[in-house]
Amino acid sequence: MLALISIVVIPKSNAIAGPYTNELSNCIINSTTKTDREDLIKWMFSAISLHPVVKGMSSITKAQMDNTSKRTARIFERLMAEDCVKQTKEAVQYEGSNAIGVSFSLLGQVAAKEIFQDKNVVTAISDLSKYFDEEKLKANLKKVK
């Protein structure tokens, strides 16, 4: 459960990963495919879409949410129990179960980075500048001196 929760929560900036957690993180990130990361992005979006603030903006069904959760669970299982089993065991043994959360949080960051590199997402974010009152901003920043 910790790995599932940590993937959508930004890790504390003072969290320091040890060498075994670093090895596990590298293995997890290097063992995921483009399809894995796309499935992870779908799961993250589906989970976030349930928040009351944005729930009305999405039409994700319970079946779709269940499907993305199942696919993501299979990815996590494969990574920990097959692809990176040695690294998972060592990280937990020498650095504690938090190593799993840290590693999957980093994978979540990799997936989020891919979201924000998409040209459509970049365009939508750039469109925000159309609504800034640049003169007001410049005038207020001059007052700060």
pTM for the whole thing?
Answer: 0.77
Render pLDDT for 41-94 as a digit per residue (tens, 0 to 9).
999 999 999 999 999 999 999 999 999 999 999 999 999 999 999 999 999 999
d(CA 90, CA 137): 52
d(CA 2, CA 131): 39
Residue ranges of the domains in the chain?
A: 2-9+18-120
Q: Is the dihedral of CA 97, 46, 44, 33 positive or negative?
A: positive
Q: How far is CA 126 from the centre of its chain?
A: 22
